[in-house]
Structure 1
Amino acid sequence: MKINNLGSMGVNPYKRNLEKSADAATKSQKKEDKVEISSKAIGLQQTNEVTKARQEKVQAIKTSLESGNYTIDPKAIAKGLVNFYKN
């Protein structure tokens, strides 16, 4: 009895699997991450009043540190820590 490979000629399951994985790789490469910033966030970034006030405060602290006049209030720090952990 002679058995011929009927119907399986030209069928390579490994090649088909490689083609599927190549298609999946090209589809996954097409996806891109996007970041969108809301108009409210843009408005917050553009407010100069807050940044100017913050810069003035930082500059005042720098000058007092350089001159040696900056003092730390340990009671205020402890009070802030307690309030932070209670809330």
Structure 2
Amino acid sequence: MKINHTPGLTGVNPYQKQLKKADAAKNASAAASDKLEISNAAKGMQDATRLLAERREKIALLKEQVAAGTYKTDARATAKAMLDFYGQQ
């Protein structure tokens, strides 16, 4: 038995809508590209790690001077710095 005419399916591809969606998704993903931005907070954290390394070096130097007995303090400068610090608060 041969069927020549089926109602509702003449010349229509039932998967055409799915193909259009797939093509649209491919085009959208091809147009979009990855982008990376570093926030100001992250940049600050990078600077903080650099400062931390510098502080460690300074502390190591001070420890060596104290151990060798060559570390000299300036009592007037220390007192002035403390007064300035606590005077700001």
TM-score of the two chains, using structure 2 as the length reference: 0.45
Q: Look at both structures and tell me which one has the larger radius of gyration over its CA atoms.
A: 2
TM-score of the two chains, using structure 1 as the length reference: 0.46
